[in-house]
């Protein structure tokens, strides 16, 4: 099981290793033409640079797609992909870690919905008994606060980048 992280509100943000800043994960969004070989090109560029792809999803239509990806070194990945003439932006997301069992995600979503937080998008993957859910809410700080107050586990950016 991955290291669990919860927020301890009695600590100051500077001394709190689980502050919301640490919980923010940099996700790359890459605009891709919808043609053969584009994802292969990105995989090769990142692999040649020693950058690991932890998680990704593709949203597409008939002409183009947006590859959303979590990598081991987001700053370096952004730089080398831009050098290769890819349109890349960086977005902050959070990663919820929950048991990979029925109802775990529903519990988290009920908490998020009750707090009035809108989810722009999310995607998930599992590692052993843990399900990891990458979430892009409309209010990152509030989402982190609500989830940690309800004792749900968030994965620190440093832990996710190591996967």
CATH architecture assignment, domain 27-91: 2-Layer Sandwich (3.30)
Supply the angle between the helices 38-48 and 74-83 in degrees, to the nearest 10. 120
Task: State how far the Cα of 105 lies from the Cα of 96, in Å rounded to an integer.
Answer: 9
pLDDT tens, residue by residue, 36-79: 888 999 999 999 999 999 999 998 877 888 999 999 999 999 99
The full set of domain ranges for the chain reads 20-24+92-162, 27-91
Alpha helices of the chain — where are they, by DSSP H?
20-23, 38-48, 74-83, 104-114, 140-149, 157-162
pTM recorded for the entire structure: 0.82
Q: Enter the tokens of residue 76.
A: 């370096």
Superfamily of segment(s) 20-24+92-162 = VC0802-like (3.30.2130.10)
More confident of the two residues 143 and 60: 143
């Amino acid at each position: 099981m991955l290291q669990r992280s919860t927020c301890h509100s009695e600590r100051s943000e500077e001394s709190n290793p689980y502050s919301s800043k640490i919980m923010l994960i940099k996700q790359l969004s890459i605009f891709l033409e919808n043609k053969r070989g584009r994802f292969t090109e990105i995989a090769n560029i990142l692999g040649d640079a020693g950058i690991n792809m932890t998680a990704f999803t593709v949203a597409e239509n008939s002409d183009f797609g947006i590859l959303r990806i979590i990598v081991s070194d987001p700053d370096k990945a952004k730089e080398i992909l831009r050098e290769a003439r890819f349109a890349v932006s960086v977005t902050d997301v959070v990663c919820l870690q929950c048991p990979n069992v029925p109802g775990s995600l529903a519990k988290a979503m009920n908490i998020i919905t009750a707090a009035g937080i809108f989810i722009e998008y999310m995607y998930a993957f599992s590692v052993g008994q843990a399900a990891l859910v990458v979430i892009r809410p409309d209010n990152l700080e509030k989402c982190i606060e609500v989830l940690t107050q309800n004792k749900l586990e968030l994965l620190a950016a440093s832990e996710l980048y190591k996967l």
